[in-house]
Amino acid sequence: MLKKNDIAPAFNLYATPDQKIKLNNFTGQNIVLAFYPADWSLICSDQMALYNEMLKYFKEYDAQLLGISVDSKWCHLAFSQSRNLHFPLLSDFEPKGEVAKKYGVYNEDKGVAERALFVINKQGIIEWSYLSPMAVNPGADGILETLESISLKSI
């Protein structure tokens, strides 16, 4: 798993059935990457709902949240609409888990991304990473603490 001071690997993933998002679309912003195993699972649903509620706090630190799983772009679309999510869910579907593998969080045995968080600074450097147990919602405390730390460094 990538860790603090590693360069965040680039990616270009579907956010909708006809739109791709690149990591460098957010150059000059902090980025929160939330890898998760699967749309529709109870814990993933709770985790994404929590982050949806936390968006205003992430924005205070000029941070863009991106969810990433190996589910298809169509699955993400349905999940996002049903949960009324206001941030992109990116499909690491084909080749399956390619981006999760770059970040060191692909679970080969289960064929899914691990539940992992990364905070990337405006220069594209990882400031914090966390691998959560699959059955545990990692919450947002570590994300907010890291964003605050980044903010204090820039003063």
CA pair distance 80, 128, nearest whole angstrom: 26
What would the two tokens of residue 85 be? Answer: 């999510």
Residue 44 designated active-site: yes
Indicate the burial class of 101 (C-beta count within 10 angstroms; 0-12, 13-18, 19 or more). middle
Q: Is 124:8 a contact under the CB 8 Å cutoff?
A: yes
Q: Catalytic residue, from 33, 34, 44, 143: name it.
A: 44
- Proportion of the chain in helix, strand, coil states, percent, rounded to 5: 35, 30, 40
Q: Is 70:105 a contact under the CB 8 Å cutoff?
A: no
Q: Is 13:103 a contact under the CB 8 Å cutoff?
A: no
Active site residues: 44
